[in-house]
Amino acid sequence: MLSMPSKDALAALPTVRHELITAGNPLSAGFWESAESVLRRIAARAATVGDVHDWLEATGTEPTAIIGMYVWDEESARTPLGCELHDLLVTHLEACLRTGDIDPERLLADDPAATQEYLALQERWMTSPLPDGRVPMQELFDDEDEDDDFLAEWAAAEQAAADELRDVLADVGARPQPDPELRAACRGLRTALRSGARSVGLVRTCSGVDPDSLDVDDRRLWLRLAAGVVNPVYEPSEGTAVDEIPGIAFDHEDWLVAVSALARGGPATPASAMNLARFIQDADNDDDIRVLAGWFVPVVEQWRVLGALDQDDRLTSLGWWGIPEALLQAWSSDNLV
């Protein structure tokens, strides 16, 4: 129900309920009332993430967001170990539900004692050895330490790449901000974003902007949208194919080489997906070039929408100024312009 538009889920609710009754798993009247209530709040944009998670927890099979000192990441951000242990905990909760150790009706009624019992049951599982000897809580904290080390290395690589790009731009010299082109581009982008035009759908998703609350400053708005092409703020929906997501195939060195080539080339530099692939691929292997070009296709499409490339996929004055600036913003630790 949560994986489809809330209005569609509401319309399907009676059918789903009938099918579960037929299958011998009717659930309770309280569950269906709460399901309808939370879906209506979602449809009205009045539901918070906490509201939805509380409703899921009331099924007795959704782990509490915070257990002891451990906070579960969102599903998309979990490590393989985090996913494995979360799934194992769900399996444990399902078993407890079958044996009557969890009473979802009391959880649904927001019974404080039931909520505390539910949390305590999860804490016992998290701090007890699994059949293979692992203690889930300790494993998860150790995994976080490794993840922190990786993030520190990634941040250092970003900083080094940003410093090198600044050196390149210093050698290139002045790249003036083209104010008329910037104003025209932002005027069109605001209109498209507010209307929900498909042409800007991926730009909107990856930048994380709210179409109803767009920055009034043209420079800040444009750079935020362009930075999202390199470093998406939000992941596109599950229906988005991997090769439609800009930037995920490239590391810091790839971006540095490609954008440095554009900066040195200046306006009118050819910047098609194939051109960009050739900037970063030294080998003469045409198959490798074609694979790289395929990854660059959504990047080029978004740059074109932003006005950084013209219809012939050549760098515009806006792109010459803006693409390097957006890359520096994407690599900034605080994302400030």
Q: Which domain holds residue 28?
A: 6-142
Residue 236 in this model has a pLDDT that exceeds 60: no
Residue 239 in this model has a pLDDT that exceeds 80: no
Residue 76 in this model has a pLDDT that exceeds 60: yes
Looking at the structure, tell me whether residues 190 and 323 fall in a common domain.
yes
Is residue 229, in this structure, part of any structural domain at all?
yes
Last residue of a domain, one of 121, 142, 163: 142
Looking at the structure, tell me whether residues 185 and 256 fall in a common domain.
yes
Looking at the structure, tell me whether residues 179 and 44 fall in a common domain.
no
Closest CA to 321 of 196, 181, 221, 205: 181
135 Cβ neighbours under 8 A, 6+ residues apart:
126, 127, 128, 129
Which amino acid, 28? S
Last residue of a domain, one of 93, 119, 142: 142
Is residue 268, in this structure, part of any structural domain at all?
yes
Residue 55 in this model has a pLDDT that exceeds 50: yes
Looking at the structure, tell me whether residues 138 and 38 fall in a common domain.
yes
Looking at the structure, tell me whether residues 115 and 197 fall in a common domain.
no
Give the C-alpha separation, 190 to 192, whole Å. 5
Average pLDDT over residues 125-129: 93
Is residue 336, in this structure, part of any structural domain at all?
no
| The two three-digit tokens of residue 105, written as one number | 């009706």
Looking at the structure, tell me whether residues 184 and 316 fall in a common domain.
yes
Looking at the structure, tell me whether residues 92 and 184 fall in a common domain.
no
Range scoring the smallest mean pLDDT among 107-116, 209-218, 264-273:
107-116
Is residue 151, in this structure, part of any structural domain at all?
no
Contact between residue 21 and residue 28 where contact means Cβ atoms under 8 Å apart: no
Give the C-alpha separation, 73 to 195, whole Å. 33
Q: pLDDT confidence of 30, banded at 50, 70, 90?
A: confident
State the pLDDT at residue 168: 96
Looking at the structure, tell me whether residues 183 and 303 fall in a common domain.
yes
CA angle 171, 175, 181 (to 5 degrees): 160
Query: Looking at the 3D structure of the chain, how many domains does it have?
Result: 2
Is residue 167, in this structure, part of any structural domain at all?
no
